[in-house]
Amino acid sequence: MNRILIVGSPGAGKSTFAKELAKRTGIPLYHLDLIWFHDNGDMESREIFDKKLQEILETERWIVDGYYPRTIQDRLKFADTVFFFDLPEDVCLEGANQRLGKKRDDNPVYETELNESLKERILTFRIFNTPYIEDLLDDFEGKIIRFHSREEIENWLRKDGKV
């Protein structure tokens, strides 16, 4: 594992997992939310975001955390490992609610309440986004690790996540 892509619904635990994986492996971690959002909440231009992402993808080792469907295909071209967080909606809603009111080092946007747009993305992720991800993963030649529960994540970290 040198180029690791982490995808899944908001609130699934991608960033928390990515931080732990980076700590264990020493692989540089890049949160796409930190590239997309400025500290004041404004969004980066697509052109600059794409350029920054491309520079990361061309490096030898990385962990990239974030869904951003428009860029998954490009990221898969470089990745050798994918962690796909395919967790139930209620688990992701709980995860999103748990981070409310907390300053995060993986996203500059400070959320005090779960906005309707984010809630809707979580509730429809498995309907609209999971099939898209699965289609892309059909052609992926690297290693794919799927998580369907928090317990599976914890078990992987306990058993397989040793470096």
Give the residue-averaged pLDDT of 31-43.
Answer: 84
Whole-structure pTM value:
0.90
Cα dihedral value 33, 105, 90, 152, nearest 10: 100
Give the residue-averaged pLDDT of 91-102.
Answer: 84
Question: How does pLDDT run across 97-115, given as a tens digit for each residue?
Answer: 887 666 666 655 656 678 8
Q: What sign for the dihedral angle of Cα 77, 75, 10, 148?
A: positive
Query: What's the pLDDT at 163?
Result: 44
Task: Please state, rounded to an integer, the average pLDDT across all residues of the chain.
Answer: 90
- Name the E strands within 22-110: 29-31, 62-65, 81-85
Least confident of 11-25, 33-47, 77-91, 95-109: 95-109
Asked if pLDDT for residue 40 goes beyond 90, the answer is no
Asked if pLDDT for residue 85 goes beyond 90, the answer is yes
Give the residue-averaged pLDDT of 68-94.
Answer: 96
Least confident of 14-18, 89-93, 121-125, 158-162: 158-162
